[in-house]
Amino acid sequence: MKRAEIEITGIVQGIGFRPFIYNLAKTHSIRGWVLNNERGVFIDAESEDGNLKKFIRGIPALAPPLARIESFEVTHLEPIGYTTFEIRRSEEAQEKFVLISPDVATCDQCLSELCSSQDFRYRYPFINCTLCGPRFTIIKDIPYDRHKTTMASFTMCPVCQKEYEDPTDRRFHAQPNACPACGPSLRLEDRNGKEVPGDPIEMTLDLLAKGFIFALKGLGGFHLACDAKHQGAVSTLRSRKFREDKPFAVMCRDMEEVREHCEVGREEERLLSSVERPIVILSRKEDSAIAHAVAPYQNTLGVMLPYTPLHHLLLNGPLKALVMTSGNASDEPIAYKNEEAKSRLHNIADYFLVHNRDIHMRCDDSVTRVFEGRPYILRRSRGYVPFPIKLPFPVEMILACGGELKNSFCLTRGRYAFMSHHIGDLENLETLTSFEEGIEHFKKLFYIRPKAVSYDLHPDYLSTQHALSIEDIPKVGVQHHHAHIVSAMAENGIEGDVIGVALDGTGFGLDGTIWGGEFIKANLRNFDRLAHLKKVPMPGGSMAIKGPWRMAMVYLWEAFGDGTDALRIDLMRRVDLQKRNILKRMIEKEINTPWTSSMGRLFDAVSSLLSVRDEVHYEGQGAIELEMIADHALTEEYPFIIRKDGRPMVIDTTGIIRGVVGDLKQGISSSKISGKFHRTIAHLIIETCKAIRSEEELNRVVLSGGVFQNIFLLSLVRKSLEASGFEIYTHHLVPTNDGGISLGQAVIGHMRLFEGSD
Ligand SMILES: [Zn+2]
Ligand SMILES: [Zn+2]
């Protein structure tokens, strides 16, 4: 006879772990007990040696899909002669810190019940169990118990209650457990709030097929939905949403339908059908029947599979693909409360399919793509949050406020970095409120009382202003690009000095100019700026970001001076002499004209030179469309110069602009010029890294910043760096765009305040 105590930590509560242990114990004739304590799950098990070994091996091997085992400790003890196996009452602790599961896609068992006419939950849109369903979005407070979720207002019927109390049942302690008799229900309304009679699902399917636009209440907020193959409906949605060219996501019935429209690799398939169910950006087939207006000017499509029972019901009928875009008008946060949605979306949606299970935390869909066979997360939100990023070492409790665009914040505790869901662009009161409420919620959920706050150096960011308004707490300002690089270092678990290549649109520099084409020597505490793109004026500030033609003119003047007006290229016809002169005067008189070394602005300039985009409707549009048209087969490049005489080194791109203009004059296609331009930028990155390596003896290169959302560029850079013997680190878990910088801010804040100097 043998006996062992087993302590398991990680995500092991509220996900069916105890019934799993109970059943596994029965299988192997184990006696003893299991309970949840403040650290995780604790088991006392006794049996013959062979059975006990099988039981212990079976726990990590067969654990429920949502479990994330962080530690697994076994201690052998003297047997004491247990006779049964039981689930004991949880130990109540003062401060019960446990990890909380993200919201999870409907599991296979619930799905088969949903589709079985014999089951009493047949076609019930809120079916769930301990293996699936809402979590993060319905939790109001901890511990995670039904009365502290938005399910509190529903009293379980005797059948549901029995499942909930039965340790052998899949719904044992499934907090959102419900059925048609006792749980939430759907309601279909027209835009005036009048209930539409009939079965809400049947009516919705009927109206969607006729081309109407719906606001659908989902897991983390409202979606705006319509038939993805109905040209008229999609165009109407686009015009009502004022979302000029920004691509919509599409939800497809199943993998077969996804393959109708897109190329799907093995890792993409895995990601699409994972429990996280993110949007995956796929390359689109030319003969796809998805309406053109879903993603104009794109050769990709953002696709996801159904992740709630309601989605399955809507896609099991005649419609195989629905547009599912976030329920907001262009720049606002996604709507998540019924009344709020009705008032904000009634000019966009014809009908509202709502329900009475409240969403406590809004949470947008996550967005990913696959890079070299691994997920590359561009927006980390539903399905991933609030699961923490594991840090290589423990840190103090820190609040990091993130950036301005695509904001996320981060709170740390020990080795856990809790990155928030996608908050959005912190440019209006509504988003700011969502940011502030989110921080308070995370502090409460994970018992975090920050000992310091870190923030971006940009004085105008609302996240910075929020950080500075917190009283009686040490504060650390972190340079934007340093935060990018340390964020990538932290998720890769590396320390020490590295070459950081941080390329993006905008980040406040130490000298008060706008940085964005930066090569830094960085560690987790400090950085040195070693090289950057040559600075150019940005006439009009943010106007120059919205209008890439301005940057094109600036770069032309840099390259051709007074000869610019005589250039016979199309841009000179689109920008008349008067416009040019106004711009020139702004630069000369330094009116609203900051200086920038941004790589994003160089991409903008080239996209305008190639007549791809003179004005953008969303961040990075010029660069994205430039990537779309790039010919990947070219080997030619444009010339550039790395000026090594001063420090930092300066990368002069005048030769690139001269080369692009030369090709334009010869009638070379935009696609070829874009391909050549991408190769040139990759080469420029490698040559700069080599120049740094020869002086600093650093061989590790960390790539971060929004520019690396460009997968064509990223793969060119990666291949050439590798061929030159560098060790390369990129993002995978955390976005390379500004959605990832809060992680770097938190780690730097900890190092500066709480670790001895290096
Ligand atoms: Zn389930
Ligand atoms: Zn019930």
Tens of pLDDT along 12-39?
Answer: 887 788 889 999 999 999 999 998 887 8
The CA 161 to ligand 2 mean position distance, Å, reads: 7
Query: What sign does the CA torsion over 217, 342, 361, 363 have?
Result: positive
The CA 106 to ligand 1 mean position distance, Å, reads: 5
- Nearest residue to 522 via CA among 704, 706, 734: 704
The CA 183 to ligand 2 mean position distance, Å, reads: 6
The CA 66 to ligand 2 mean position distance, Å, reads: 24
Residue 211 burial by Cβ neighbours in a 10 Å radius (0-12, 13-18, 19+): middle
CB atoms within 10 A of CB 465: 15
The CA 154 to ligand 2 mean position distance, Å, reads: 9
The CA 125 to ligand 1 mean position distance, Å, reads: 12
Smallest-distance ligand from the CA of 134: 1
The CA 157 to ligand 2 mean position distance, Å, reads: 4
Any idea how long the chain is?
Answer: 758
Mean pLDDT across the stretch 671-676? Answer: 98
Give residue 471's pLDDT.
95
Give residue 544's pLDDT.
96
The CA 132 to ligand 1 mean position distance, Å, reads: 4
Smallest-distance ligand from the CA of 307: 1
The CA 171 to ligand 1 mean position distance, Å, reads: 8
Residue 266 burial by Cβ neighbours in a 10 Å radius (0-12, 13-18, 19+): exposed
Q: What does pTM read for this prediction?
A: 0.94
Cis peptide before 176 (omega within 30 of 0): no
The CA 142 to ligand 2 mean position distance, Å, reads: 24
Smallest-distance ligand from the CA of 162: 2
- Nearest residue to 138 via CA among 164, 170, 108, 104: 104
pLDDT band at residue 93, thresholds of 50, 70 and 90? low
Beta-sheet pairing, 262-263 with 279-284 = antiparallel
The CA 384 to ligand 1 mean position distance, Å, reads: 18
Smallest-distance ligand from the CA of 183: 2
The CA 357 to ligand 2 mean position distance, Å, reads: 14
pLDDT tens-place string over residues 680-718: 999 999 999 999 999 999 999 999 999 999 999 999 999
The CA 112 to ligand 1 mean position distance, Å, reads: 9
Rounded Cα distance, 192 and 174, in Å: 36
Beta-sheet pairing, 31-36 with 85-87 = parallel
The CA 88 to ligand 1 mean position distance, Å, reads: 24
More confident residue, 255 or 328: 255
The CA 132 to ligand 2 mean position distance, Å, reads: 17
Which residues have a Cβ under 8 Å from the Cβ of 731 and sit 6 or more positions away? 376, 377, 487, 488, 491, 703, 704, 708, 740
Mean pLDDT across the stretch 69-88? Answer: 92
pLDDT band at residue 92, thresholds of 50, 70 and 90? low
The CA 361 to ligand 1 mean position distance, Å, reads: 21
Which residue matches tokens 């693909």?
A: 321
Residue 413 Cα distances to 38, 89, 388, 443, 446, angstroms? 15, 27, 10, 10, 8
| Token digits of residue 702 | 């960390």
Angle, CA 125 vertex, CA 123 and CA 127 arms, to 5°: 90
- Nearest residue to 277 via CA among 287, 269, 288: 269
Give residue 145's pLDDT.
85
The CA 108 to ligand 1 mean position distance, Å, reads: 7
The CA 300 to ligand 1 mean position distance, Å, reads: 32
pLDDT higher than threshold 70 for residue 94: no
Backbone angles phi, psi at 592, to 5 degrees: 40, 50
Beta-sheet pairing, 700-704 with 727-729 = parallel
The CA 114 to ligand 1 mean position distance, Å, reads: 10
Residue 669 Cα distances to 10, 12, 553, 604, 609, angstroms? 54, 57, 20, 18, 12
Mean pLDDT across the stretch 530-540? Answer: 97
DSSP, res 582? H
The CA 351 to ligand 2 mean position distance, Å, reads: 28
Which residues have a Cβ under 8 Å from the Cβ of 225 and sit 6 or more positions away? 208, 213, 214, 215, 216, 314, 322, 323, 324, 325
Mean pLDDT across the stretch 477-487? Answer: 98
Smallest-distance ligand from the CA of 124: 2
Q: Which string of DSSP letters, residue by residue, matches 131-200?
A: TBB--GGGB-SSS--GGGBTTTTSPPPHHHHHHHH-TTSTTTT-TT---TTTS--EEEEETTSPBPPS-H
Residue type, 269: E
Q: pLDDT exceeding 70 applies to what percent of the chain? A: 99
* Nearest-10 crossing angle of helices 621-629, 711-723: 70
pLDDT tens-place string over residues 298-352: 999 999 999 999 999 999 989 999 999 999 876 678 889 999 999 999 999 999 9
Smallest-distance ligand from the CA of 127: 1
* Nearest-10 crossing angle of helices 577-588, 548-560: 80
Contacts 24+ apart (CB under 8 A), 655-661: 656/602, 656/606, 656/680, 657/555, 657/556, 657/558, 657/559, 657/605, 657/606, 657/609, 658/559, 658/560, 660/606, 660/609, 660/610, 661/556, 661/559, 661/560, 661/567, 661/569, 661/609
The CA 84 to ligand 2 mean position distance, Å, reads: 31
| Token digits of residue 237 | 């949605």
The CA 679 to ligand 1 mean position distance, Å, reads: 48
The CA 697 to ligand 2 mean position distance, Å, reads: 66
| Token digits of residue 219 | 């897991």
pLDDT higher than threshold 90 for residue 218: yes
The CA 109 to ligand 1 mean position distance, Å, reads: 6
Give residue 90's pLDDT.
73
Contact 648, 532 (CB under 8 A): yes
**What is the overall mean pLDDT for the chain?**
95
The CA 216 to ligand 1 mean position distance, Å, reads: 21
Give residue 241's pLDDT.
86
pLDDT higher than threshold 70 for residue 243: no
pLDDT band at residue 721, thresholds of 50, 70 and 90? very high
Which residue matches tokens 């092991």?
A: 12
Contact 60, 69 (CB under 8 A): yes
The secondary structure of the chain in percent helix, strand, coil, rounded to multiples of 5, reads 35, 25, 40
The CA 173 to ligand 2 mean position distance, Å, reads: 14
The CA 174 to ligand 1 mean position distance, Å, reads: 9
Residues, beta carbon < 5 Å, ion ligand 1: 107, 110, 129, 131-132
The CA 189 to ligand 2 mean position distance, Å, reads: 25
The CA 555 to ligand 2 mean position distance, Å, reads: 67
The CA 105 to ligand 1 mean position distance, Å, reads: 8
Rounded Cα distance, 303 and 250, in Å: 5
pLDDT band at residue 55, thresholds of 50, 70 and 90? very high
Contact 209, 227 (CB under 8 A): yes
Smallest-distance ligand from the CA of 174: 1
Which residue matches tokens 């209650």?
A: 161
The CA 222 to ligand 1 mean position distance, Å, reads: 22
The CA 129 to ligand 1 mean position distance, Å, reads: 4
